[in-house]
């Protein structure tokens, strides 16, 4: 039995790991536009190329993890190389190097979160801990990073580059050090649990797994792509200052701190399918407000509605995949889930870059609504949640 001393370490690494992303990603597109002078189409091209390349490489991380069972060692390697690559991106001055190093950064980053989730879920299963409650520290980290970055940029006049890259690198290095003190996953729950030979083809023949991939593309991948431009929408379309980006992330993530405490129990009580349906409805409501309002305050407050969608995104999907996928393909399944969403983000980012230049940022939210409604209709008909909800 793993001692509870590991619980605090997992909370700390989730906090630091997501804090780094909170400092960086909400402001990266603004950084590219304001400091690098890039257009929406060029930003969309950078994001799409980097994401498409990372998708092509991502199966490698899953295969290495599942073949060796060295999830912890792989996570350390990715965190360290990610830190070095982030520094190189900060130093890049030409469009070629920005797109090349951003691509390398995404290629490394796509493997980190699945490895950490596998370690955390394995720990929770062995100790009876609630994965949703454990992940609250990640939400706090996102609030902290995104809000502090906005304060540094606006109130203390920090250079936006230093404000997003330096904290990102520090958080990744600290996370790298903490991994040394995390428990190793039980081999009985990894590659040695079954001698049955299974392949990626078997995973792609899993209808339940393919369903969640498609659902995530039409919802989570699309959200990430739109939110990447929400900072530009706030600052350049609605006329807010950079601190509004941090406030937007604070309002969007703060409700998660309460919801995550009860998330697993709520999904079990009401049923996973009903909770997913409710979450998508709140998503549609949120983006309807985004598409119709030019008021900065209303736009920011509407972000809080999206907290319910994060329960399926962060907790529900992890538990769903663990339930429907064989143990010796878990690493591949987690990475492939991230890869497919990344592929969706790449396609949407390229499209959104063109829409942003041609029609403005309001059109991004209107365009997104089509896919959210389709996702809701598919969700209403699916039976893949019966494994959880059948009494």
Neighbours of 387 (CB within 10 A): 12
- On whether residue 138 sits in a domain, the answer given is yes
Between CA 155 and CA 9 the distance in angstroms is: 33
Asked whether residue 49 is assigned to any structural domain, the reply reads: yes
Contact 279, 311 (CB under 8 A): yes
Query: First and final CA of the chain: distance in angstroms?
Result: 31
- How many other C-beta atoms lie within 10 A of the C-beta of residue 304? 18
Residue with tokens 């592929």: 343
DSSP state of 328: G
- pLDDT recorded at residue 158: 64
217 within a domain of the structure (yes/no): yes
Tell me, yes or no, whether 187 lies in a domain.
Answer: no
Q: Quick one: DSSP state of residue 36?
A: S
Residue 147 is assigned to a structural domain of this protein = yes
Q: Phi-psi bin for 172: left (phi > 0), alpha (psi -120 to 50), beta?
A: alpha
Tell me which residue has tokens 């990715």: 78
Per-residue model confidence (pLDDT) at position 224: 83
pTM, two decimals, is: 0.71
Q: How far is Cα 275 from Cα 55, in angstroms, rounded to an integer?
A: 29
Q: What is the dihedral of CA 168, 300, 159, 178, to 10 degrees?
A: -10
Q: Tokens 């980290």 correspond to what residue?
A: 141
Q: If you ran DSSP here, which 8-state letter would residue 189 be given?
A: G
| Res 165: pLDDT | 93
Residue 325 lies in a domain: yes
Total of domains in the chain? 1
In a domain, 103, yes or no: yes
Indicate the helix (H) or strand (E) that contains 23.
helix 5-34
pLDDT at 26: 79
Does residue 367 contact residue 355 with C-beta atoms inside 8 Å?
yes
Three-state SS for the chain is: CCCCHHHHHHHHHHHHHHHHHHHHHHHHHHHHHHCCCCCHHHHHHHHHHHHHHHHHHHHHHHHHHHHHCCHHHHHHHHHHHHHHHHHHHHHCCCHHHHHHHHHHHHHHHHHHHHHHHHHHHHHHHHHCCCHHHHCHHHHHHHHHHHHHHHHHHHCCCCCHHHHHHHHHHHHHHHHHHHHCCCCCCCHHHCCCCCCCCCCHHHHHCCHHHHHHHHHHHHHHHHHHHHHHHHHHHHHHHCCCCCHHHHHHHHHHHCCHHHHHHHHHHHHHHHCHHHHHHHHHHHHHHHHHHHHHCCCHHHHHHHHHHHHHHHHHHHHHHHHHHHHHCCHHHHHHHHHHHHHHHHHHHHHHHHHHHHHHHHHCCHHHHHHHHHHHHHHHHHHHHCCCCHHHHCC
Domain assignment present for residue 332? The answer is yes
Contact by Cβ (8 Å): 324, 19: no
Residue 119 lies in domain: 14-182+198-389
Q: Give the CATH number of the domain where residue 100 resides.
A: 1.20.1250.20
Q: Tell me the C-alpha to C-alpha distance, in Å, between residue 38 and each of 24, 46, 99.
A: 17, 10, 12
Distance CA 119, CA 111 (A): 13
Residue with tokens 């400091």: 35
Inter-CA distances, 385 with 134, 176, 332, 338, 390, Å = 24, 36, 21, 20, 8
Per-residue pLDDT of the chain (391 residues; tens, 9 = 90+): 444 678 999 999 999 999 999 899 878 888 888 788 787 778 878 877 887 787 777 778 877 887 888 889 999 999 999 999 999 999 888 888 989 999 999 889 888 988 898 899 889 888 888 887 888 888 889 888 888 887 787 766 567 888 889 999 999 999 999 999 998 776 544 444 445 555 667 788 889 899 999 999 999 888 888 877 887 888 888 888 877 877 887 788 788 878 888 888 888 888 889 999 999 999 999 999 999 999 999 999 998 888 888 888 878 888 888 888 887 778 788 888 888 887 887 788 778 888 888 898 899 999 999 999 999 999 999 998 887 776 5
């Amino acid at each position: 039995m793993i001692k509870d001393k590991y619980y605090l370490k997992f909370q700390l690494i989730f906090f630091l790991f997501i804090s780094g992303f909170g400092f960086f990603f909400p402001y990266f597109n603004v950084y590219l536009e304001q400091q690098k002078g890039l257009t929406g189409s060029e930003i969309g091209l950078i994001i799409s190329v980097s994401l498409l390349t990372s998708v092509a490489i991502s199966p490698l991380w899953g295969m290495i993890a599942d073949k060796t069972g060295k999830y912890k060692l792989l996570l350390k390697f990715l965190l360290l190389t990610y830190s070095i690559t982030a520094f190189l991106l900060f130093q890049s001055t030409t469009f070629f190097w920005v797109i090349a190093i951003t691509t390398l950064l995404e290629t490394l980053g796509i493997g980190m979160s699945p490895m950490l989730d596998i370690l955390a879920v394995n720990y929770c299963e062995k100790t009876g801990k609630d994965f949703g409650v454990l992940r609250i520290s990640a939400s706090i980290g996102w609030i902290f990073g995104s809000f502090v970055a906005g304060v540094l940029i606006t109130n203390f006049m920090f250079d936006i580059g230093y404000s997003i890259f330096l904290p990102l690198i520090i958080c990744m290095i600290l996370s790298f050090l903490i991994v040394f003190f995390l428990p190793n996953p039980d081999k009985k729950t990894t590659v040695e649990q079954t001698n049955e030979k299974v392949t990626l083809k078997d995973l792609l023949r899993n209808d339940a797994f393919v369903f969640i991939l498609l659902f995530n593309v039409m919802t989570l991948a699309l959200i990430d792509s739109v939110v990447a431009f929400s900072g530009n929408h706030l600052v350049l379309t609605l006329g807010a200052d950079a601190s509004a980006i941090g406030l937007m992330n604070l309002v969007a993530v703060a409700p998660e701190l309460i919801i995550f405490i009860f998330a697993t129990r709520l999904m079990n009580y009401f049923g996973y399918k009903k909770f997913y349906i409710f979450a998508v409805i709140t998503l549609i409501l949120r983006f309807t407000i985004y598409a119709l309002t030019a008021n900065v305050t209303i736009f920011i407050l509407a972000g809080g509605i999206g907290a319910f969608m994060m329960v399926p995104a962060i907790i529900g999907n992890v538990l769903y995949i663990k339930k429907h996928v064989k143990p010796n393909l878990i690493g591949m399944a987690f990475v492939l889930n991230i890869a497919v969403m990344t592929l969706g983000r790449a396609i949407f980012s390229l499209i959104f870059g063109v829409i942003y230049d041609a029609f403005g940022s309001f059109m991004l939210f209107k365009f997104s609504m089509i896919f959210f409604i389709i996702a809701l209709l598919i969700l209403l008909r699916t039976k893949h949640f019966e494994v959880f909800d059948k009494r």
